[in-house]
Amino acid sequence: MKIRDEYTCPLEIVHDIIKGKWKTIIVFKLRQCNKTFSDLEHSIDGISQKMLIQQLKELREFGIVDKISSTGYPLHTEYFLTSRGKKMLQAVEIMQEIGIEYMLEHGQQEFLDNKGICYNK
Partner DNA sequence: CCGTATCCGATCCGATACTG
Partner DNA sequence: CAGTATCGGATCGGATACGG
Residue placing its CB nearer to a copy of itself in the complex, 69 or 101: 101
Residues 24, 18: contact at Cβ < 8 Å?
A: yes
Q: Is 21 in the site for DNA (CB under 7 A)?
A: yes
24-32, 45-53, 94-102, 110-118 -> range binding DNA (CB under 7 A): 45-53
93 — phi, psi (to 5°)? -70, -35
32-40, 52-60, 73-81, 90-98 -> range binding a copy of itself (CB under 8 A): 90-98
3-class DSSP state of 39: helix
Select the binding partner of residue 33 from DNA, a copy of itself, none (C-beta < 5 to 8 A, by kind).
none
81, β-bridge pairs: 65
Which residue in 39, 51, 77, 116 binds a copy of itself (CB under 8 A)? 116
Angle at 118 between CA 12 and CA 46, to 5 degrees: 70
Select the binding partner of residue 81 from DNA, a copy of itself, none (C-beta < 5 to 8 A, by kind).
none
Residues 11, 82: contact at Cβ < 8 Å?
A: no
3-class DSSP state of 1: coil
Taking the C-alpha atoms of residue 117 and residue 34, their distance in angstroms, rounded to an integer, is 17
Which residue in 1, 2, 11, 114 binds a copy of itself (CB under 8 A)? 11
Interface with a copy of itself (CB under 8 A): 6-15, 17-19, 21, 24-25, 28, 62-63, 84, 87-88, 90-92, 94-103, 105-106, 108, 111-112, 116, 118-120
